[in-house]
Structure formats: C-alpha cells, structure tokens
Amino acid sequence: MTVITYREALRQAIREALLRDERTFVMGEDVGHYGGSYAVTLGLLEEFGPERIRDTPLSESGFVGAGIGAALGGMRPIVEVMTVNFSLLALDQIMNNAASLLYMSGGQLNVPLVIRMATGAGRQVGAQHSHSLEGWLAHIPGLRLLAPATIEDARLMLWPALEDPDPVLIFEHAMLYNTEGELDDQPTAVDIESATVRRAGDDVTLVAYGGTLRTALDAATQLTQQGISAEVVDLRCLRPLDTPTILASVARTHRAVVVDEAWRSGSLSAEVAARVTESAFYDLDAPVARVCSNEVPMPYAKHLEDEVMPQAADVVNAVREMGA
C-alpha cells in the first residue's frame, strides 16, 4: 500500500490513460504550462508534450465542443472544466450535442468523451466557484455522472470512463484534492455503475456522494457514540442511480437521510428521497430526511460558508429528530 493524495491519484489515472491509449489527450484551461488549476496535470506536459496536453482559450463552449468533435473523430479526449459553475457556459454542447447525438443519429454516433470538473464549496472562492450543480446535469439522459469520493475511486474510475462509448462527467470535490489515503500498489478495477456501502449499520441509512461522504462518515461516528448505528451509502455514480443498493440499505435500517451539498429544491437529494418513498414506503419507520446547503449563493466568509454547507452535526440532528 502507498499513501498518496486524491490529487496524485487523479494524476496517476490520467498518466496511465495517456500511456495505454495513444488516442487519449487532455485539454482545458491551464492544464499544460500551469499544471492545472488544482495541480492535477502538473508535469504531464513535460512528459507527453503539447499535442497531448493542450492548453485552451478561456471558452468552455469552444473547447468542450472541440472535445466532442475529437471524440466523434475517433479520439478519447479528457476535457477539464475548471469548476462545475463554468460547465454552464458549455451546457449547450453537453446537453444538445454530447448527450443527444447517439439518439439523434439513430445509434450511429457515439461520443466517447470524458469531462472532469471540480465541484463544491469550502475554499472561500465565492459563489461563482463553489456550487454543487451535479443534480442539474444528472437530469440529462445520455450522460453518465461519476463522483469519486475516495482515493481508490479517484485512481480507478477514469479508465472505465474512457472505455464507455458515451459521454462521462466526473465531479471531483475540490476539498478532496489534498486529502490522503492508502492505495494498493497494484490497483485492479472499480465499478462505475454501482453505489457501495462504506460503513455498515442497522438504525439509519445515510446516503451521500463526493464531498458529503466524509460528512456522512463523521456523522456516523458521532451517532455511534450515542448508541445509533448508521449505515453509509456512497452513491459514486449519480446517473444512472443505483436504486437497488439504496433500497436494500433502507430495507435493513428503515430510515434514510440524504446528505447533499446542493440546494434542497430540485436537487439530487430530492430524486433519491422520491425513489425511496416510491419504492420502499412500507419499509420506512420515518419520513426520508434531507440535509442540504442553505438556498443562498455560497458566501465568501469562512464562518458563513460553514453555516451554509451541511455539517456532520446537522446530519446527527436529522437522525435524532426521526427517532432513530
């Protein structure tokens, strides 16, 4: 086992992909000479050259569109968008082209494109760089959405994403880049279709993904000290959702709390709560609860940012209120 950071795990994954398939290249803002906005691609330009590590102009619509064209032409592009907020500038390309071309062409045109982007708050970078918009993009058919929350998933999700014949969006919570963890020196493969249980429990299911997995695990530890056994489910794949894993957990625990850094209204947490209510209503001993960010633009000041974001204490309180 080797101890590495989340950032280093992502870099290893990209490097492996570049070595394994000559059709693969990276493009985006500052991915080359600067080494990436979050230093994920640091050193790759020197190793692979400017043809495969391509700095682009500040035009998300332009370089995402170029990535779609390259994928249609047989390449395997990895497009980096600096933050999920900026993906809105390429929403036309993502939704009306990448996600739709397979259907609009009658199955003739696949778009094997991977788009990586940072998401989430906690860094004091203001409202334009801090929101969690995964739920917006999870609304779109034709896309696969991944949210690696662990070192292992950060290292191993990229290659199967590149092998997918259709577009895959990977959301990397910005607060995870500096986190450290152990990684097997000979990593194998990881499932990009299924949720997974990160912690077993009997009294309540905590559903989380990406940056909120750590919040849910911290809450589960606090609940244990209060005699409550919490099971933690990591969604990992946000579209398509692995509903059977969620329902199986709720059938065991009879309670569910969904932890989501996005706004509550129309969020991914709302979709999870609806599916549990629709399919596991008679397994529930209490209504499904949700712990989300307050519905305001993300503040800059640290104490206000912390107040807006879901915290472990908020999850503990939600569990206690449902009588677990």
Residues serving a catalytic function are 60, 129
Helices first, then strands: H and E counts in the chain: 14, 14
* Helix orientation angle between 243-253 and 268-280, rounded to the nearest 10 degrees: 60
Task: Determine the residue type at 26.
Answer: V
For strand 196-199 and strand 230-234, is the pairing parallel, antiparallel, or unpaired? antiparallel
Q: Which two tokens stand for residue 236?
A: 């990992």
Position of tokens 């950071």? 5
**Which own/partner pairs from 219-227 qualify as long-range (CB within 8 Å, at least 24 positions apart)?**
219/259, 219/312, 219/313, 219/315, 219/316, 219/319, 222/312, 222/313, 222/316, 223/316, 223/319, 223/324, 226/316, 226/320
Strands in 256-263's sheet, in edge-to-edge order, are 196-199, 230-234, 204-208, 256-263, 289-293
CB 13 within 8 A of CB 159: yes
DSSP per residue over 3-31, as a string?
EEEHHHHHHHHHHHHHHH-TTEEEEETTS
Query: How many Å apart are CA 261 and CA 309, to the nearest integer?
Result: 6
Position of tokens 């107040």? 307
Angle at 64 between CA 73 and CA 209, to 5 degrees: 115
DSSP per residue over 104-151, as a string?
HTTT------EEEEEE---S---GGG----HHHHTTSTT-EEE---SH
